[in-house]
Amino acid sequence: MPLPEPHGGVCEDMTAFQERSTDQWDVRDLGRVAYREAWAFQKEVVASRHAGTVRDTLLICEHDPVVTIGRGTPDGAVLDARFPVEPVERGGEATYHGPGQLVIYPIVKMTSQSRDLHHWLRALEDACSEVLESFGLVCGRRAGATGVWVSGSGSEQRKIVSIGVAANRWVTWHGLALNHETKLEDFSVIKPCGFDAGVMTSMAAEMGVDCPSRADVLGQLVPALQRHLAVFQECERGESP
Protein backbone atom coordinates (compact mmCIF):
# COMPACT_ATOMS: atom_id res chain seq x y z
CA MET A 1 0.00 0.00 0.00
CA PRO A 2 1.20 3.60 -0.61
CA LEU A 3 2.54 5.88 2.09
CA PRO A 4 0.03 8.22 3.73
CA GLU A 5 0.26 11.76 2.35
CA PRO A 6 1.90 14.41 4.54
CA HIS A 7 -0.47 17.24 5.44
CA GLY A 8 1.60 19.83 3.56
CA GLY A 9 2.00 17.85 0.32
CA VAL A 10 5.29 16.75 -1.21
CA CYS A 11 8.28 18.32 -2.89
CA GLU A 12 7.76 19.12 -6.57
CA ASP A 13 11.08 17.39 -7.29
CA MET A 14 10.22 14.16 -5.49
CA THR A 15 9.90 12.28 -8.78
CA ALA A 16 13.71 12.36 -8.94
CA PHE A 17 13.75 10.00 -5.96
CA GLN A 18 10.74 7.80 -6.66
CA GLU A 19 13.07 5.64 -8.74
CA ARG A 20 14.98 4.93 -5.51
CA SER A 21 11.92 3.13 -4.13
CA THR A 22 12.38 -0.64 -4.29
CA ASP A 23 10.61 -3.80 -3.22
CA GLN A 24 12.03 -3.14 0.26
CA TRP A 25 11.97 0.67 0.43
CA ASP A 26 9.67 3.62 -0.06
CA VAL A 27 11.51 6.92 -0.60
CA ARG A 28 9.66 10.20 -0.13
CA ASP A 29 11.10 13.70 -0.54
CA LEU A 30 8.92 16.09 1.47
CA GLY A 31 10.88 19.20 0.51
CA ARG A 32 10.94 22.01 3.07
CA VAL A 33 8.52 21.32 5.88
CA ALA A 34 7.92 22.56 9.44
CA TYR A 35 9.48 20.29 12.05
CA ARG A 36 6.19 19.56 13.84
CA GLU A 37 4.56 18.50 10.60
CA ALA A 38 7.41 16.14 9.71
CA TRP A 39 7.41 14.75 13.26
CA ALA A 40 3.66 14.00 13.03
CA PHE A 41 4.11 12.39 9.61
CA GLN A 42 6.92 10.20 10.96
CA LYS A 43 4.54 8.94 13.64
CA GLU A 44 1.93 8.09 10.99
CA VAL A 45 4.48 6.14 8.95
CA VAL A 46 5.75 4.34 12.07
CA ALA A 47 2.18 3.26 12.87
CA SER A 48 1.68 2.12 9.28
CA ARG A 49 4.93 0.15 9.40
CA HIS A 50 3.78 -1.62 12.56
CA ALA A 51 0.52 -2.44 10.78
CA GLY A 52 2.40 -3.80 7.79
CA THR A 53 0.70 -1.44 5.33
CA VAL A 54 3.91 0.31 4.18
CA ARG A 55 7.47 -0.77 3.49
CA ASP A 56 10.56 0.49 5.26
CA THR A 57 10.78 4.17 4.41
CA LEU A 58 13.28 6.98 3.92
CA LEU A 59 11.70 10.39 4.52
CA ILE A 60 13.82 13.21 3.08
CA CYS A 61 13.25 16.85 3.98
CA GLU A 62 14.68 20.11 5.23
CA HIS A 63 13.15 22.16 8.02
CA ASP A 64 12.33 25.74 8.80
CA PRO A 65 14.76 26.95 11.51
CA VAL A 66 14.16 24.99 14.71
CA VAL A 67 16.05 23.62 17.71
CA THR A 68 15.28 20.08 18.85
CA ILE A 69 16.32 18.87 22.27
CA GLY A 70 16.84 15.15 22.80
CA ARG A 71 16.52 13.17 26.00
CA GLY A 72 20.12 13.84 27.00
CA THR A 73 20.01 17.63 26.74
CA PRO A 74 21.37 19.37 29.87
CA ASP A 75 20.09 22.66 31.23
CA GLY A 76 21.66 25.64 29.51
CA ALA A 77 22.15 23.97 26.12
CA VAL A 78 19.84 26.49 24.41
CA LEU A 79 21.60 29.86 24.44
CA ASP A 80 19.16 31.93 22.36
CA ALA A 81 15.43 31.28 21.94
CA ARG A 82 15.05 33.07 18.57
CA PHE A 83 13.96 29.79 16.95
CA PRO A 84 11.22 27.40 18.11
CA VAL A 85 12.43 24.75 20.55
CA GLU A 86 10.97 21.25 20.28
CA PRO A 87 11.55 18.50 22.89
CA VAL A 88 11.78 15.15 21.08
CA GLU A 89 12.07 11.43 21.79
CA ARG A 90 15.47 10.80 20.22
CA GLY A 91 18.68 10.37 22.15
CA GLY A 92 21.37 13.01 22.21
CA GLU A 93 21.33 16.69 23.08
CA ALA A 94 20.39 19.96 21.35
CA THR A 95 20.49 20.14 17.55
CA TYR A 96 19.68 22.91 15.10
CA HIS A 97 17.78 22.24 11.86
CA GLY A 98 17.33 24.75 9.08
CA PRO A 99 17.39 25.47 5.36
CA GLY A 100 20.28 23.96 3.44
CA GLN A 101 20.37 20.85 5.60
CA LEU A 102 19.59 17.37 4.26
CA VAL A 103 17.47 15.60 6.86
CA ILE A 104 16.65 11.93 6.42
CA TYR A 105 14.40 9.89 8.70
CA PRO A 106 14.79 6.11 8.12
CA ILE A 107 11.72 4.26 9.37
CA VAL A 108 12.69 0.60 9.48
CA LYS A 109 11.12 -2.42 11.17
CA MET A 110 14.17 -4.12 12.64
CA THR A 111 14.53 -7.86 12.41
CA SER A 112 14.62 -9.59 15.79
CA GLN A 113 18.29 -10.50 15.25
CA SER A 114 19.40 -6.91 14.60
CA ARG A 115 17.84 -4.87 17.39
CA ASP A 116 20.90 -2.85 18.34
CA LEU A 117 20.61 0.94 18.18
CA HIS A 118 24.35 1.42 18.64
CA HIS A 119 24.93 -0.69 15.53
CA TRP A 120 22.17 1.32 13.82
CA LEU A 121 23.96 4.60 14.66
CA ARG A 122 27.24 3.25 13.28
CA ALA A 123 25.51 2.18 10.05
CA LEU A 124 24.09 5.68 9.57
CA GLU A 125 27.53 7.18 10.17
CA ASP A 126 29.16 4.75 7.74
CA ALA A 127 26.68 5.52 4.96
CA CYS A 128 27.20 9.27 5.35
CA SER A 129 30.98 8.95 5.56
CA GLU A 130 31.06 6.82 2.40
CA VAL A 131 29.16 9.47 0.46
CA LEU A 132 31.09 12.47 1.81
CA GLU A 133 34.39 10.75 1.04
CA SER A 134 33.20 10.12 -2.52
CA PHE A 135 33.05 13.92 -2.85
CA GLY A 136 36.62 14.29 -1.57
CA LEU A 137 36.10 14.99 2.14
CA VAL A 138 38.12 13.13 4.78
CA CYS A 139 35.66 11.78 7.35
CA GLY A 140 35.75 9.82 10.56
CA ARG A 141 34.34 9.45 14.03
CA ARG A 142 35.21 11.37 17.17
CA ALA A 143 35.77 9.48 20.42
CA GLY A 144 32.81 9.83 22.74
CA ALA A 145 30.63 11.58 20.15
CA THR A 146 28.12 10.50 17.52
CA GLY A 147 27.82 11.84 14.00
CA VAL A 148 30.28 12.30 11.16
CA TRP A 149 33.35 14.52 11.52
CA VAL A 150 35.69 15.89 8.87
CA SER A 151 39.43 16.61 8.80
CA GLY A 152 42.07 16.78 11.52
CA SER A 153 42.08 14.94 14.80
CA GLY A 154 40.77 15.61 18.29
CA SER A 155 39.66 19.23 18.70
CA GLU A 156 40.51 19.98 15.04
CA GLN A 157 37.65 17.81 13.81
CA ARG A 158 34.52 19.54 12.54
CA LYS A 159 31.04 18.04 12.69
CA ILE A 160 29.17 17.77 9.40
CA VAL A 161 26.44 15.20 10.21
CA SER A 162 24.33 15.07 13.38
CA ILE A 163 22.53 11.86 14.25
CA GLY A 164 19.86 11.15 16.85
CA VAL A 165 17.60 8.12 16.77
CA ALA A 166 14.72 6.45 18.56
CA ALA A 167 12.73 3.24 18.18
CA ASN A 168 9.07 2.49 18.82
CA ARG A 169 8.74 -1.25 19.45
CA TRP A 170 11.79 -1.68 17.22
CA VAL A 171 10.57 0.46 14.37
CA THR A 172 13.17 3.19 14.04
CA TRP A 173 12.48 6.89 13.57
CA HIS A 174 14.24 10.25 13.82
CA GLY A 175 17.56 10.08 11.99
CA LEU A 176 20.31 12.26 10.51
CA ALA A 177 20.97 15.84 9.44
CA LEU A 178 23.76 16.47 6.94
CA ASN A 179 24.90 20.07 6.68
CA HIS A 180 24.92 20.70 2.95
CA GLU A 181 24.59 24.48 2.52
CA THR A 182 23.46 25.22 6.06
CA LYS A 183 23.86 28.72 7.54
CA LEU A 184 26.43 27.79 10.18
CA GLU A 185 26.02 30.94 12.28
CA ASP A 186 22.54 29.73 13.24
CA PHE A 187 24.16 26.98 15.34
CA SER A 188 25.23 29.73 17.76
CA VAL A 189 21.80 29.53 19.41
CA ILE A 190 22.78 26.22 21.06
CA LYS A 191 25.65 24.11 22.32
CA PRO A 192 25.31 21.50 19.57
CA CYS A 193 25.48 18.12 21.30
CA GLY A 194 27.42 19.82 24.09
CA PHE A 195 30.09 21.40 21.85
CA ASP A 196 30.86 25.01 20.99
CA ALA A 197 28.95 26.06 17.87
CA GLY A 198 32.23 26.69 16.05
CA VAL A 199 32.74 22.94 15.73
CA MET A 200 29.99 22.72 13.10
CA THR A 201 30.74 22.73 9.39
CA SER A 202 28.99 22.04 6.07
CA MET A 203 29.77 20.69 2.64
CA ALA A 204 29.63 24.24 1.27
CA ALA A 205 32.05 25.53 3.92
CA GLU A 206 34.50 22.70 3.26
CA MET A 207 34.21 22.55 -0.54
CA GLY A 208 33.33 26.07 -1.69
CA VAL A 209 32.43 26.24 -5.38
CA ASP A 210 33.00 22.48 -5.68
CA CYS A 211 30.07 21.70 -3.37
CA PRO A 212 27.71 19.30 -5.18
CA SER A 213 24.01 19.98 -5.60
CA ARG A 214 21.33 18.66 -3.25
CA ALA A 215 20.22 16.24 -5.95
CA ASP A 216 23.75 14.94 -6.48
CA VAL A 217 24.25 14.33 -2.75
CA LEU A 218 20.90 12.58 -2.37
CA GLY A 219 21.58 10.58 -5.52
CA GLN A 220 24.42 8.90 -3.63
CA LEU A 221 23.16 9.09 -0.06
CA VAL A 222 19.83 7.33 -0.63
CA PRO A 223 21.34 4.14 -2.12
CA ALA A 224 24.17 4.21 0.43
CA LEU A 225 21.64 4.20 3.26
CA GLN A 226 19.67 1.43 1.59
CA ARG A 227 22.83 -0.70 1.41
CA HIS A 228 24.10 -0.02 4.92
CA LEU A 229 20.69 -0.48 6.57
CA ALA A 230 19.72 -3.64 4.65
CA VAL A 231 21.12 -5.86 7.42
CA PHE A 232 18.42 -4.54 9.77
CA GLN A 233 15.50 -5.30 7.47
CA GLU A 234 13.19 -8.25 8.04
CA CYS A 235 13.26 -9.49 4.45
CA GLU A 236 17.07 -9.41 4.56
CA ARG A 237 16.84 -12.06 7.29
CA GLY A 238 14.10 -14.04 5.61
CA GLU A 239 11.37 -12.97 8.03
CA SER A 240 7.91 -12.03 6.87
CA PRO A 241 6.88 -8.34 7.22
- Active site residues per annotation: 193
231 class by beta-carbon count within 10 Å (0-12 exposed, 13-18 middle, 19+ buried): middle
Residue 143 phi/psi, 5-degree rounding, is -55, 130
Q: Within 10 Å of residue 118's Cβ, how many Cβ atoms?
A: 9
* 203 in Cβ contact with 184 (< 8 Å): no
| Number of other CB atoms surrounding residue 117 within 10 Å | 14
Nearest CA-CA partner of 174 in 83, 81, 85, 71? 71
